[in-house]
Structure 1
Amino acid sequence: MIPPEQHDALHARLLPWARPDGSPCYLRTDGHGYVSRVADEIEAVQLAMGAEVLDCGRPIIAATGATVTELRFTALRLAECLADALRIAESRGGRLQRDGGHG
């Protein structure tokens, strides 16, 4: 149970993972708890993986001899990384709006 004095300090944060059914997962938090720190770490990993997939994917896309299978695999991985990055941007944008652009 959340004490009444803390209720207004807690906000819903979009987490960098989804529920098993694919729907968004939110956390009511003040931004300083364990799950928030785990979410921050996962976001950092997701962004780093996105950069790595992009670095690996560019030569495949540019290669004139790339197969349809290679291109499809690359496109799927890039789409996954883009989805992660958009979820992170939505989460961070919501927190910036809520905090008046200061964090």
Structure 2
Amino acid sequence: MTEPTPCAKPPGRITDLRLLPWPSPDGKPCYLSSGGAHGWVTRLADTVEERQLATGAEVLVLAREVLDDPMAPYTEVRYAAIRVAECLGDALRVAESRGLRVPAPDTGGDGADRTGGAGSPAPEPGR
């Protein structure tokens, strides 16, 4: 099994490329250039991501059951850890893919965040 490595941002316009939830045949990140369209590969990627996250939630429940048992055999604990690590890798790829598709915040040209999220200046008292 190859160790996951942070994926370098692909060349070109980030918003036009989507990191797919599966690697290329040689284990490298695989991207889809969809131009914003929702074709069948995009729908397949959405379905795979949903299934990966659901599987991760199921594995987490089962792993907690094993870890809650102080008498669980070493092999069961190891197997649970291997499955959790696989699911974590999938979840991190999904998070990275979705993060690459989030538009940059509107800074209005002065570097100030205009989205109202964290980092926005606090309103002055009485206003």
Give the TM-score taking structure 2 as reference length.
0.67
Amino acid at match of 2:76: E
Structure ID, larger Rg:
2
- Which residue does 2:17 correspond to in 1? 12
Note the C-alpha offset of 1:19.
1.2
Tell me how far apart the structure 2 counterparts of residues 88 and 14 of structure 1 sit (CA, whole Å). 8
Tell me how far apart the structure 2 counterparts of residues 60 and 66 of structure 1 sit (CA, whole Å). 6
Residue 26 in structure 1 maps to residue 31 in structure 2: yes
Amino acid at match of 1:94: L
Residue 76 in structure 1 maps to residue 62 in structure 2: no
Change (3 A) 1:63 1:23: same
- The structure carrying a bigger helix percent of its residues is 1
Q: Which runs of 4+ in 1 moved over 2 A?
A: 97-101
Amino acid at match of 1:53: V
Residue 53 in structure 1 maps to residue 53 in structure 2: no
Amino acid at match of 1:20: P
- Which residue does 1:5 correspond to in 2? none
Tell me how far apart the structure 1 counterparts of residues 87 and 104 of structure 2 sit (CA, whole Å). 26
Sequence identity percentage: 52
Change (3 A) 1:38 1:24: same
Note the C-alpha offset of 1:97.
3.2
Tell me how far apart the structure 2 counterparts of residues 31 and 80 of structure 1 sit (CA, whole Å). 30
Amino acid at match of 1:50: G
- Give the aligned CA root-mean-square deviation in angstroms: 2.0
- Which residue does 2:49 correspond to in 1? 43
Name structure 2 gaps, 5 residues minimum: 1-12, 107-114, 116-127
Note the C-alpha offset of 1:20.
1.9
Tell me how far apart the structure 2 counterparts of residues 52 and 92 of structure 1 sit (CA, whole Å). 21
Change (3 A) 1:99 1:48: farther
Tell me how far apart the structure 2 counterparts of residues 51 and 94 of structure 1 sit (CA, whole Å). 23
Residues matched between the structures, number = 93
Amino acid at match of 1:24: P
Question: Tell me, what secondary structure is at the counterpart of 1:27?
Answer: strand
